[in-house]
């Protein structure tokens, strides 16, 4: 019986040699591939350099703007910017920062949702304080990694950054409770008058020598002196609190009114408890009545513990959620540092403790130097 194969019939395959057929194609395309690779690497390098230049410009202008605000010296600002630039290299080079790169001016905006607009300072109008600094940098002949392969030897970059000292409304919320009539190194007790008080002294008379209140007067004056010397017009308001809080002064760029509001209590020092929460509430009202576009800062000071009012931390948490920065200062060993630290944390600020009058002044000066600076371009 014959058997026939089943399934598909086998096909005849060609065994012609094809070895080396791809070599001419590779030889033809290899130069093109090299040029494309070089172009891609150069393009990526170019974008990296421009990004590094912007980062260096931003860091440099922030250092320059902050230094100028603190010192008023353009030379010091340039030095600070160049020091920062050396720590932010562009490839293997340093950001070029000639004197002409630095321009003082003012940054303003019409609405909170719009960008800041920079205008150079007009030398014919020196009365206008500059609140911003612009740093412009350019490089016309930064070398490609693969020069000439893609037909290009060098490329250029131009970058600009503006540092703006933002408009700031500040309210000083100061403790004028009875314990502030005592010295920082003595315990405030209800059955005895301050040791430094003259014979016959009672509350309602001028604050006693060496009192915590007079230390606070000096610290507040140092704070305002620093703002007077800065190159930004900060507005300041005043709230004082004892049993209840008083809105003594609305925010104003005229600091003599703040000094006068404080001096009123120096000449006629009252007795009272410590109602921190009402101080925060009245301070909030003062800030809300200020400039719509200004950043808001509260400086809250106490020498003791809460003896009136409700827990102030929830109010501070609400205020912090609205973008208000709260700095807190405790003075003397009797102060409730834990609560004031919680208030500062709720307001995204810092807490300072001052055991002496000198430390209190230092704390207020440090807060004044912490006024925010932002990069607006």
| 16 assigned to some structural domain | no
The Cα–Cα gap between 361 and 352 comes to 11
**In this structure, are 146 and 285 located in the same domain?**
no
| 12 assigned to some structural domain | no
pLDDT digits (tens, 9 = 90+) for 53-77: 888 888 888 888 878 876 778 899 8
pLDDT recorded at residue 224: 94
Q: Give me the residues paired with residue 300 across strands.
A: 173, 328
Q: What angle do CA 263, 237, 372 make, to 5 degrees?
A: 125
- CA distances to 28, 229, 308, 312 from 249, rounded to whole Å, are 83, 21, 23, 22
The Cα–Cα gap between 341 and 328 comes to 7
**In this structure, are 222 and 75 located in the same domain?**
no
| 294 assigned to some structural domain | yes
pLDDT digits (tens, 9 = 90+) for 256-270: 999 999 999 999 999
**In this structure, are 42 and 150 located in the same domain?**
yes
Domain that holds residue 220: 168-372
CATH number, domain containing residue 318: 3.40.50.410
**In this structure, are 126 and 108 located in the same domain?**
yes
In this prediction the pTM is 0.65
**Under a CB-based contact definition with an 8 Å cutoff, are residues 141 and 154 in contact?**
yes
The Cα–Cα gap between 178 and 205 comes to 12
- Mean pLDDT, range 197-210, rounded to an integer: 92
The Cα–Cα gap between 326 and 280 comes to 10
* 25-29, 48-52, 300-304: which is most confident: 300-304
**In this structure, are 177 and 258 located in the same domain?**
yes
- 36: pLDDT confidence band, cut at 50, 70 and 90? confident
In a 10 Å sphere around its CB, with 0-12 CB exposed, 13-18 middle and 19+ buried, how is residue 277 labelled?
buried
| 142 assigned to some structural domain | yes
**In this structure, are 58 and 118 located in the same domain?**
yes
Q: Which two tokens stand for residue 167?
A: 């408009």
- 32: pLDDT confidence band, cut at 50, 70 and 90? confident
pLDDT recorded at residue 63: 86
| Contacts (Cβ under 8 Å, ≥6 apart) of 169 | 234, 235, 236, 237, 251, 287, 290, 291, 294, 295, 296, 297
pLDDT recorded at residue 122: 78
| 183 assigned to some structural domain | yes
**In this structure, are 65 and 81 located in the same domain?**
yes
pLDDT digits (tens, 9 = 90+) for 291-344: 877 789 999 999 988 899 999 999 999 999 988 999 999 998 889 999 999 999
- Indicate whether 232 pLDDT > 80: no
Q: Which of 103, 135, 165 is the last residue of a domain?
A: 165
**In this structure, are 234 and 148 located in the same domain?**
no
| 211 assigned to some structural domain | yes
Q: What angle do CA 171, 177, 178 make, to 5 degrees?
A: 155
Q: Which of 131, 165, 199 is the last residue of a domain?
A: 165
Q: How many CB atoms lie within 10 A of CB 109?
A: 14
| 3 assigned to some structural domain | no
- Indicate whether 108 pLDDT > 80: no
- Of 100-104, 140-144, 333-337, 352-356, minimum mean pLDDT range: 140-144
Q: Which of 141, 165, 189 is the last residue of a domain?
A: 165
**In this structure, are 160 and 176 located in the same domain?**
no
**In this structure, are 152 and 265 located in the same domain?**
no
pLDDT recorded at residue 48: 83
65 by DSSP, 3-state: which?
A: helix
| 8 assigned to some structural domain | no
**In this structure, are 101 and 190 located in the same domain?**
no
**Under a CB-based contact definition with an 8 Å cutoff, are residues 170 and 234 in contact?**
yes
- Indicate whether 46 pLDDT > 70: yes
- Indicate whether 105 pLDDT > 70: yes
The per-residue pLDDT of the chain, averaged, comes to 84
pLDDT recorded at residue 311: 94
Q: Which secondary-structure segment (H or E) carries 238? A: strand 235-241
- Indicate whether 375 pLDDT > 60: no
| Contacts (Cβ under 8 Å, ≥6 apart) of 33 | none
Domain count, the chain: 2
pLDDT digits (tens, 9 = 90+) for 134-192: 988 887 767 666 666 555 667 777 888 888 877 789 999 999 999 999 999 888 887 78
pLDDT recorded at residue 152: 60
**In this structure, are 213 and 360 located in the same domain?**
yes
**Under a CB-based contact definition with an 8 Å cutoff, are residues 73 and 188 in contact?**
no
pLDDT recorded at residue 22: 75
């Amino acid at each position: 019986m014959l058997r026939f194969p089943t399934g598909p019939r086998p096909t005849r395959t060609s065994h012609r040699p094809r070895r080396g057929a791809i070599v001419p194609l590779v030889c033809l395309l290899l130069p093109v591939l090299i040029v494309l690779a070089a172009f891609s690497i150069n393009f990526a390098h170019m974008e990296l350099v421009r990004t590094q230049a912007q980062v260096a410009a931003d860091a440099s202008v922030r250092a320059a703007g902050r230094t100028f605000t603190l010192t008023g010296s353009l030379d010091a600002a340039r030095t600070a910017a160049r020091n920062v630039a050396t720590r932010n290299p562009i490839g293997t080079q340093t950001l070029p920062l000639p004197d002409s790169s630095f321009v003082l001016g003012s940054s303003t905006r019409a609405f909170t949702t719009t960008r800041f607009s920079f205008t150079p300072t007009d030398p014919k109008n020196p009365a206008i304080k500059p609140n911003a600094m612009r740093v412009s940098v350019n490089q016309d002949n930064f070398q490609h990694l693969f020069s000439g392969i893609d037909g290009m030897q060098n490329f250029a970059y131009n970058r600009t950054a503006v540092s703006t000292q933002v408009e700031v409304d500040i309210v000083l919320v100061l403790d004028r409770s009875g314990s502030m009539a005592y010295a920082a190194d003595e315990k405030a007790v209800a059955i005895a008058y301050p040791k430094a008080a003259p014979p016959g002294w009672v509350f309602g008379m001028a604050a006693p020598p060496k009192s915590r209140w007079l230390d606070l007067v000096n610290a507040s004056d140092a704070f305002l002196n620093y703002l007077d010397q800065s190159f930004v017009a900060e507005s300041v308001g005043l709230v004082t609190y004892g049993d209840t809080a008083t809105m003594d002064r609305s925010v104003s760029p005229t600091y003599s009114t703040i000094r006068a509001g404080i001096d009123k209590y120096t000449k006629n020092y009252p007795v009272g408890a410590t109602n921190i929460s009402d101080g925060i509430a009245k301070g909030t009202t003062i800030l809300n009545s200020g400039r719509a576009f200004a950043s808001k800062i509260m400086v809250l000071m106490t020498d003791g513990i809460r003896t009136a009012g409700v827990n102030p931390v929830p109010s501070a948490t609400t205020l912090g959620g609205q973008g208000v920065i709260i700095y807190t200062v405790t003075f003397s060993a009797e102060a409730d540092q834990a609560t004031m630290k919680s208030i500062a944390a709720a307001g995204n600020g810092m807490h300072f403790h001052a055991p002496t009058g000198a430390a209190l002044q230092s704390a207020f000066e440090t807060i004044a130097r912490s006024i925010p600076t932002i990069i607006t371009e």
